[in-house]
Amino acid sequence: MNEFELIEQIVADLGASACAPWVRVGPGDDAAVIAVPAGMELVATIDAIVADVHFPATAGAALIGYRAVMVSASDLAAMGAEGGYLLVALNLPQGDPAWVAGLTRGMAEASAAIGVPIVGGNLAAGPLSITVAAQGFVPAGQALLRSGAEPGDGVYVTGELGAAAAALARGGLGQCASVADLDPLSARYFRPMARMDVGRALRGLARSAIDVSDGLLQDLGHLCDASGVGVALDSAAVPVAAGATLQQALTGGDDYELCFTLPPGAEARLPALDVALHRIGEATAERGVWLDGRQIPAGGYQHFHS
């Protein structure tokens, strides 16, 4: 199977996952054509996952594909975006049609789960990595930024934290071939859920938001830096996933939950959501990240160290 046949297979396997009312031209031309709905601005982000750095290459291809999409889509959620489209660049050591079909199935499933179609891509020979550029729509001027937190805001996170870090610490992720092999910890690693519904609900209410990809303390540190505030956290309020430690919940990456701030009184105006929200602390005028009254360094995951 040559490159073009493999691309044809991918496009066929994507099926409805390449379609949406705003997609004028999908895969197959030099570029896709998208009609951004009236009144909407675009949010745009790109993320790459590299074999044996960000995922175990021996894991099931569908698990890898699902995770690749959600990692990028999580940034859309953090901006309060919906809809939009994905572009996927696959660097593959060889063009194994069965492996690519599995990857495509996982990507298509994730794409359908968040309502963001895959409209184009690229296939290149090279060490295994998957890059997803994700774009979403948000009403003009309503994108959630990192920079709007104010002292006195409540600091919240969605869901539970630490499960993905616990799964990594336990090991064995490379032996997961399919969804049937996943327990609650490994499911959180391979099948994070980009919180698109939460992000949408936060528009006009949250003053700032970020997704938890590098670890809660690290990502909150970025939010505080952008906003010019500090944060006082209550460790007892941090939602630690079953099987994880508080340390993993505070510093583990890969959970892809949302962290955001709400001004006083805003929480009561949120609609009902499918995921629990936890108030873990409060933004402060004094800079720095404080846990139970003690200042701590931001200590999340970094890809490069000096």
Q: Which residues inside 8-47 make contact with its own copies, applying CB under 8 A?
A: 24-25, 28-36, 41-47
Q: Which long-range contacts (CB under 8 A, 24 or more apart) does 222-227 make?
A: 222/146, 223/146, 223/149, 223/259, 223/261, 224/149, 224/283, 224/287, 224/288, 224/289, 226/145, 226/146, 226/147, 227/146, 227/147, 227/148, 227/149, 227/150, 227/261, 227/283
For its own copies, which is the closer residue by CB, 146 or 244?
A: 146
**Per-residue x/- mask for its own copies, residues 172 to 211, rule CB under 8 A?**
-------------------------------------xxx
Q: Which residues pair with 260 in a beta bridge?
A: 156, 209
Q: Phi and psi dihedrals of 262, rounded to 5? A: -125, 140
Which residues within the stretch 204-263 sit at the binding site for its own copies (CB under 8 A)? 209-211, 226
CA angle 266, 268, 270 (to 5 degrees): 80
**Which residues, 274 to 303, sit near its own copies by CB under 8 A?**
302-303
Q: What one-character-per-residue DSSP string does 159-181 give?
A: S-BSHHHHHHHH--GGG--SGGG
6 vs 108, beta carbon nearer its own copies: 6
Considering the complex, what minimum distance in angstroms separates the CB of residue 277 from its own copies?
Answer: 18
Give the binding range for its own copies (CB under 8 A) out of 60-68, 116-124, 151-159, 246-254: 116-124
Q: Which is nearer to its own copies, 205 or 246 (CB)?
A: 205
Give min distance, CB of 140 to its own copies, in A: 7
Q: Find the binder of its own copies among 12, 16, 125, 276 (CB under 8 A).
A: 125
Binding mask 135-154 for its own copies (x = CB under 8 A): xx-x-x--x-xxx-------
Q: How far apart are CA 243 and CA 160, in angstroms?
A: 11
Place of tokens 């698990």: 63
Stated length of the chain: 306
Please say which residue, 201 or 232, places its beta carbon nearer to its own copies.
201
**How near is the Cβ of 4 to its own copies at its closest, in Å?**
7
Q: Which stretch binds its own copies (CB under 8 A): 8-16, 48-56, 248-256, 285-293?
A: 48-56
Compare residues 135 and 186 and give the one whose CB is closer to its own copies: 135
The CA distance from 133 to 31, in Å, is 14
Cα separations in angstroms, 97 against 92, 94, 103, 246: 11, 9, 10, 42
Give, as ranges, the residues between 73 and 112 that touch its own copies (CB under 8 A).
75-76, 78-79, 81, 85, 87-89, 91, 94-95
Residue 55 CA, distance from chain mean position? 15
Stretch near its own copies under the rule CB under 8 A, chosen from 72-80, 107-115, 231-239, 265-273:
72-80
Residues 6+ apart with CB under 8 A from 219: 210, 211, 212, 213, 259, 300
The residue whose two tokens read 């099931």 is 60
Site membership for its own copies, residue 169 (CB under 8 A): no
Candidates 56-64, 128-136, 163-171, 186-194 — which segment interacts with its own copies by CB under 8 A?
128-136
Cβ closer to its own copies: 137 or 189?
137
Handedness of CA 221, 46, 200, 62 (dihedral sign): negative
User: Which CB, 56 or 120, lies closer to its own copies?
Assistant: 120
Q: Considering only residues 16, 19, 53, 275, which one is a binding residue for its own copies as defined by CB under 8 A?
A: 53
